[in-house]
């Protein structure tokens, strides 16, 4: 998973980064709420790990801004020295999915991250067929239909299109698309993503007249939206 970490204590940040890297996660560290918020709202992550107290703000306020600004449900794990019941309830009310206290234990971090990953995947894997008129996506058969007619897509085109449709309304960076479709070790550049997006837009006939818009965000990535969401 691609993870954003908000932690201002160098030792704690290093410990979390080390154990997540060992578990093959791609973790990006931020020591201020401002830098964290800027990255999370302009890039794409699968999970957020947040400290409560940081120099310029506090974790719950940052999380509230994220939930208010974005229309996608990203899992959030709070890691903090606060242990009171009121604090835990407050963090959960602001949108946290899980909560663990310091000092951080490496095995516990990995276990909680893996649990949140399984929970997030379960939400998207329950349906074998997704109806988003005029499209129907059969995940098990790896098939797109438009107005009932099958559309021929390559394996990678299907994977990119499925990622866009299951994350509709969410801005997906080119790097995120590369990592999730081709793998994070793939020796490819972002032109690969642009080429596949162009082919998908043409083959699926994505346009506002059909109720959908696939927008390019300069120097970042792509967002697929339904007209009613614009």
The residue among 124, 148, 163 that closes a domain is 124
Looking up residue 24, the CATH number of its domain turns out to be 3.40.50.2300
Looking up residue 143, the CATH number of its domain turns out to be 1.10.10.10
CB 49 within 8 A of CB 4: yes
CB 46 within 8 A of CB 118: no
- The strand pair at 149-151 and 57-58 is best described as unpaired
The single-letter DSSP state of residue 142 is: T
Q: Examine the domain organization and report whether 196 and 113 are in the same domain.
A: no
- Three-state secondary structure call for residue 37: helix
Q: Examine the domain organization and report whether 139 and 175 are in the same domain.
A: yes
The residue among 94, 124, 154 that closes a domain is 124
Domain that holds residue 173: 129-229
Q: Examine the domain organization and report whether 6 and 105 are in the same domain.
A: yes
Q: Examine the domain organization and report whether 113 and 8 are in the same domain.
A: yes
In degrees, rounded to 5, the angle at the alpha carbon of residue 105 between the alpha carbons of residues 104 and 109 is: 85
What pLDDT is attached to residue 217? Answer: 80
Handedness of CA 58, 77, 175, 68 (dihedral sign): negative
Q: Examine the domain organization and report whether 106 and 219 are in the same domain.
A: no
What pLDDT is attached to residue 187? Answer: 63
Q: Where are the alpha helices (DSSP H) in 53-173?
A: 59-69, 85-93, 106-125, 155-166
What pLDDT is attached to residue 127? Answer: 63
Q: Examine the domain organization and report whether 75 and 36 are in the same domain.
A: yes
Q: Examine the domain organization and report whether 209 and 155 are in the same domain.
A: yes
- Could you say which residues of the chain have pLDDT below 70? 70-72, 122-127, 184-188, 228-230
The residue among 124, 145, 175 that closes a domain is 124
The single-letter DSSP state of residue 129 is: E
What pLDDT is attached to residue 228? Answer: 60
What pLDDT is attached to residue 165? Answer: 93
CA–CA dist 107, 163 (Å, integer): 30
Q: Examine the domain organization and report whether 68 and 8 are in the same domain.
A: yes
Q: How many domains does the chain have?
A: 2
What pLDDT is attached to residue 113? Answer: 93
pLDDT in tens, 37-57: 889 888 889 899 999 888 888
Q: Examine the domain organization and report whether 140 and 195 are in the same domain.
A: yes
Q: Examine the domain organization and report whether 22 and 47 are in the same domain.
A: yes
Q: Examine the domain organization and report whether 65 and 112 are in the same domain.
A: yes
What pLDDT is attached to residue 28? Answer: 95
Q: Which residue has the tokens 């020796």?
A: 187
CB 143 within 8 A of CB 152: no
């Amino acid at each position: 998973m691609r993870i954003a970490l908000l932690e201002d204590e160098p030792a704690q940040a290093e410990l979390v980064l080390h154990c997540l890297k060992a578990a093959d996660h791609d973790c990006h560290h931020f020591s201020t709420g401002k830098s964290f918020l800027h990255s999370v709202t302009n890039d794409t992550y699968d999970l957020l790990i947040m400290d409560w107290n940081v120099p310029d703000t506090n974790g719950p306020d940052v999380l509230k801004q994220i939930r208010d600004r974005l229309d996608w449900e990203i899992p959030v794990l709070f890691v903090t020295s606060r242990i009171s019941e009121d604090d835990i309830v407050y963090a959960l009310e602001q949108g946290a999915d899980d909560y663990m206290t310091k000092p951080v234990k490496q095995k516990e971090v990995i276990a909680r991250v893996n649990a949140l990953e399984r929970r997030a995947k379960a939400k998207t894997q329950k349906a074998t067929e997704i109806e988003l008129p005029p499209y129907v996506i059969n995940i098990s058969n790896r098939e797109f239909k438009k107005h009932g007619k099958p559309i021929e897509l390559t394996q990678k085109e299907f994977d990119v299109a499925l990622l866009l449709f299951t994350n509709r309304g969410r801005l997906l960076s080119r790097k995120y698309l590369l990592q999730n479709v081709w793998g994070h070790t793939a020796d490819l550049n972002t032109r690969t993503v642009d080429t596949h997006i162009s082919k998908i837009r043409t083959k699926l006939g994505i346009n506002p007249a059909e109720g959908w818009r696939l927008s390019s965000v300069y120097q970042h990535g792509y967002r697929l939206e339904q007209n009613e969401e614009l």
